[in-house]
Amino acid sequence: MSDIEHAKKLLEGDPALTCVFVKGGEVVTSSERGVKPLLERIDSGKTLEGFSAADRIVGRAAALLYAFMGVKEVFAPVLSEGAEEIFGRHKIAHGYKKRTPYIINRAGTGLCPMEEATAGITDPQEGLKAIREKLKKLAGQG
C-alpha cells in the first residue's frame, strides 16, 4: 500500500482524526482542527519532507503550510480552488473528492479567516507569516 493510500485509509477509518501524515513506517496523526496540527509540526521543528498527507479540509492556508513543510502529496475530501492552485504551483501531487471555490468559516457565515488571510499569497514563507499574524489578531493580541 502506498503512503497516500495508507494515510487515506487511516483518515477514513477514524472520524476523530483530522489529518494523517505517512512516510514509510512513520505515521503521525492529529485530531486538532484547522491549521493547528500543521503549525504545531512546524513549531516543533519537525519536517514533513517527503510525507504523504490526508487531511479532511484543505484550503489555501493549509496548502501553503504543506508546501512550506515539503510534503510530496495530499488528499482531501474537501479542497479549495486556492489550495489546488498552490499545489499546482509547488508541484505537490493532490487529490480530492469535492473541490470548492473557498473554505467557509466554522459558523458557516462567510470565508474562513485563514483563507482570507492568505488570499493572493503563493509563497509558503509569506503564507506562514500571514497565518501567524491572523491568529494573533483572532486571539486579541494584534
The residues spanned by each domain of the chain are 3-138
3-state helix, strand, coil in the chain (%, to 5): 40, 25, 35
Give the sign of the dihedral formed by CA 25, CA 65, CA 125, CA 43: negative
**CA separation (Å) from 90 to 25, 30, 67, 103, 111?**
25, 24, 7, 20, 24
CATH superfamily of the domain spanning 3-138: Hypothetical protein TM1506 (3.40.140.30)
Please determine, for residue 90, whether its predicted confidence score (pLDDT) is greater than 90.
Answer: yes
The string of pLDDT tens digits covering residues 30-75 is 999 999 999 999 999 988 999 999 999 999 999 999 999 999 999 9
- Taking 70 as the threshold, does the pLDDT of residue 142 lie above it? no
Tell which residue, 20, 132, 120, has the closest CA to residue 73: 20
* pTM of full prediction above 0.75: yes
